[in-house]
Chains A and B, each alone.
Chain A
């Protein structure tokens, strides 16, 4: 509780500021811009972190994602590794999937995924699409939302049903404008009935890369067994009279670990198993939890750098206050002398000047927070970045403002208090 006396001293300090409104506002500007930029930088940092969390969070932090990768080989070296004759074998095998299921403990589920590039036709219109052969759980694991119709079901697997779930973007590209549920697409030479449409909420950035998702959202999800049993895993591509075949049994294995604490350990065990099966490393393992930790660390370093740069303007603002206050001390020497003659002790003079500088900086801080909000809005509108203003950043900004006010006030205040009252009274 502030005593009445302190309140009166505080009020007197404020009156002095109101006596010179223009100077007060100009002095404040440094802090306004400093705090504004600190708020904006913190918001951008927090926004980047949020985006990161969303991006990588989509992958599921309890998941381990293993992707097949085509190994780099010299053109004519046919004898080594998985490449035999004109068929290019590489990547994850059914055996890997089976062994993970059978030998790795603490696993909730293991999802095999097979990908192939296929042409999808609607009458005479076609587009190049990515066919995702997935088990029904895939939708749940990656949080794919069905906008209309249904997801793939275990029954579809059993029936080897020729059904598919598509993205709405694909419908537009193929010119399907009526109700797509029940519509039949031709994928290569087989007919698939659309049973569900996904919302346009796409994987972005890192998540898109990790899941080998399509940037143009022309993914088509079909039952895993249907593809495996009806089409096999081999795909052909031909050009200029020659043709090539690729045989990748599984493009992706998604392992969901039961216990979050076991994710890293499980990933190491799987790595051991896979490295035995694949002496030539034709797979990559993505552990979202690990990626998240690394990215966060990088982001934090970046955030600190951003805020440090923004703080420089705050520092300049503080120097501005100190500078003006020093000038004020000279200008108000007589006032200081009068106050001393009327009974002000040194501490009263110090308190008065600190009140003034702290008020300037707190007011500047508050205005700076508003400026920060504005800056962030403008940045978001013009750049499309994500920015989040957190309560903690507001607290940080205010704390810094108070600190700036006090430190910039100390020297001028002490100078003012040290003035000899007699000569201060005579000062012209």
Chain B
């Protein structure tokens, strides 16, 4: 088996400064290998959002180690975490999180602003990604002029622009009707087929089953894995 692209070892997360602190993650162990499509399921309050934040380098664990692409990212500086989010992680959010005053193309270009490569150099790249998600005719539209499904496809295009190590999807179909939800899931299937590593967080059993491997979280612990 190849080296895992993600490796969580004994991850604990506490919230609050004073005792009794809120103990949310209670020793998570999880490995994800290159090219896997993993869904993480859990009820509300199970700790799956906290886990997502840690996986997305938006937060750091209180205890334990997080290796991303072989590097320990569990105790990095704010700037370093920003750089990792920019280069190694592609976010897909439930509510799309597009910037309303920017066009489709500009939204896809946002991650380039904060990296080393320039927007002009990558302009063609951005257009081809948008083309691959079927939005080449919508480049200069603003998010308010798009349907929910289109918005989510823009967000997926945006997550791909820096060619990240992992795609992190948080309830990607949560705000969509079932038909468009299916379309988005098909798009994710095809990304997986291209060899992308995808971690999808959801509470929907049916959606979770689209993934090649399902991880269930309950009360801060991984309780079940199936594949």
Which residues of A are in contact with B by a Cβ distance under 8 Å?
4-5, 8-9, 12, 15-16, 18-20, 334-335, 337-346, 348, 421-422, 425
Contact = CB atoms under 8 A, between A and B. Distances in A.
A348 B101 contact: no
Contacts of B162: 343
Contacts of B102: 15, 19
Interface stretch (B92-100, B124-132, B184-192): B92-100
A4 B120 contact: yes
A425 B113 CA distance: 19
Interface string B52-79: 0100101100000000000000000011
A8 B118 contact: yes
B114 A345 contact: yes
Given A15-B102, A15-B106, A346-B79, A4 B86 contact: no
B119 A343 contact: no
B111 A342 contact: yes
Interface of B: 53, 56, 58-59, 78-79, 82-83, 85-87, 91, 93, 97-102, 106, 110-115, 118-120, 158, 162
A337 B53 CA distance: 13
Contacts, number: 77
Interface centre among A5, A334, A337, A343, by most chain B C-beta atoms within 10 angstroms, is A343
Nearest to B118: A4
Contacts of B110: 12, 338-339, 342
Nearest to B170: A425
Contacts of A19: 100-102
A344 B97 contact: no
Contacts of B58: 340-341, 421-422, 425
B97 A348 contact: no
Contact of B79 (A15, A339, A341, A345): A345
Contacts of A342: 85-86, 91, 110-111, 114, 158
Given A8-B112, A15-B102, A335-B100, 18 more contacts: A4-B118, A4-B120, A8-B113, A19-B100, A19-B101, A334-B97, A335-B99, A337-B97, A339-B110, A341-B91, A342-B86, A342-B111, A342-B114, A343-B85, A343-B86, A343-B162, A345-B82, A425-B58
Given A334-B97, A341-B56, A341-B97, A9 B113 contact: yes
A342 B108 CA distance: 10
27 contacts: A4-B118, A8-B112, A8-B119, A9-B113, A15-B101, A15-B106, A19-B102, A20-B101, A335-B100, A338-B99, A340-B58, A341-B56, A341-B85, A341-B91, A342-B110, A342-B111, A343-B83, A343-B86, A343-B111, A344-B82, A344-B86, A344-B113, A345-B79, A346-B78, A346-B79, A422-B53, A422-B58
Contact of B113 (A12, A337, A346): A12
B158 to A, nearest CB: 7
A425 B93 CA distance: 10
Contacts of A338: 97-99, 110
Contacts of B115: 343
Contacts of B99: 335, 338-339
B155 to A, nearest CB: 10
A425 to B, nearest CB: 7
Contacts of A16: 101
A8 to B, nearest CB: 5
A175 B102 CA distance: 78
A72 B33 CA distance: 110
Contacts of A422: 53, 58-59
A5 B118 CA distance: 6
A346 B162 CA distance: 20
